Chains A and B, each alone.
Chain A
Amino acid sequence: EDQVTQSPEALRLQEGESSSLNCSYTVSGLRGLFWYRQDPGKGPEFLFTLYSAGEEKEKERLKATLTKKESFLHITAPKPEDSATYLCAVQAITGGGNKLTFGTGTQLKVEL
Chain B
Amino acid sequence: NAGVTQTPKFQVLKTGQSMTLQCAQDMNHEYMSWYRQDPGMGLRLIHYSVGAGITDQGEVPNGYNVSRSTTEDFPLRLLSAAPSQTSVYFCASGQRRGYEQYFGPGTRLTVT
Contact = CB atoms under 8 A, between A and B. Distances in A.
Contacts, number: 69
A43 B41 contact: no
Contact of B106 (A34, A43, A102, A104): A43
Interface size of B as a range: 20 to 34
Chain B, interface SS category: strand
B52 interface: no
A44 B99 contact: no
Contacts of B98: 31-32, 51, 91
A102 B31 contact: no
A98 B97 contact: yes
Closest 6 CB pairs of A and B: A43-B103, A97-B48, A102-B42, A98-B31, A102-B43, A104-B42
Interface of A: 4, 31-32, 34, 36, 41-46, 49, 51, 87, 89, 91, 96-100, 102-105
